[in-house]
Structure 1
């Protein structure tokens, strides 16, 4: 007779996610001279994250160039504890975005929490 084997998946607590993301951000800042800041927005920033939530990160990289999909290739997002939606902007691009009236600007103004 064969016994059933069950897989148990455990979602990390918000505290664990935030601690690991903080360490990741600090490591990236040490290794990348153009990285000015790393910010968190969305559910983890608001404190409303639950099972299935992803990370929403903003990276201010003054050496970033090219389209967004090329900028993202530079960053080891797979080392983060959860899947991640990231936006990579230069300081100038961020200033232009945050000064606007787009929905993204409003969300960042309300939720953005700097990790480093």
Structure 2
């Protein structure tokens, strides 16, 4: 064969990598209280090409999402990642605000840390 072959990680491999990453991040940043996945990995429907939707709950998060995301080495995760960093109060508000995002999080969010 002269073609390259891509091997996509299994969902279990991705989840294990996220758990390991989350433990390291919590040791590095003690204000990290929870890490969750949602979207296709939260629904257990992920397949080849799925990205990772990640929710980080940081007690000391400040600034906008751009500033918040700069703290986290998302490139160390096994897949491209869309991440959201919220404080515990912001998460509670988000889960109860009646939005489409609230419905998705309430349905699909799985905590890994």
TM-score by length of 1: 0.93
Query: Which stretches of structure 1, 4 residues or more, deviate above 3 A after TM superposition?
Result: none
Does 1:38 find its partner at 2:35? yes
Alignment of 1:48-63 (within 5 A): 48-63=45-60
Q: Which of 103, 106, 109 is the aligned partner of 1:109?
A: 106
Q: Which 5+ residue runs of structure 1 have no aligned equivalent?
A: none
Partner of 1:24: 21
Pairwise CA distance, 1:50: 0.5
TM-superposition CA deviations, 1:12-33 (whole Å, max 9, x none): 1111111111111111112111
Q: Which of 76, 84, 91 is the aligned partner of 1:79?
A: 76
Partner of 2:8: 11
Larger Rg: 1
RMSD of the TM alignment (CA)? Answer: 1.1
TM-score by length of 2: 0.95
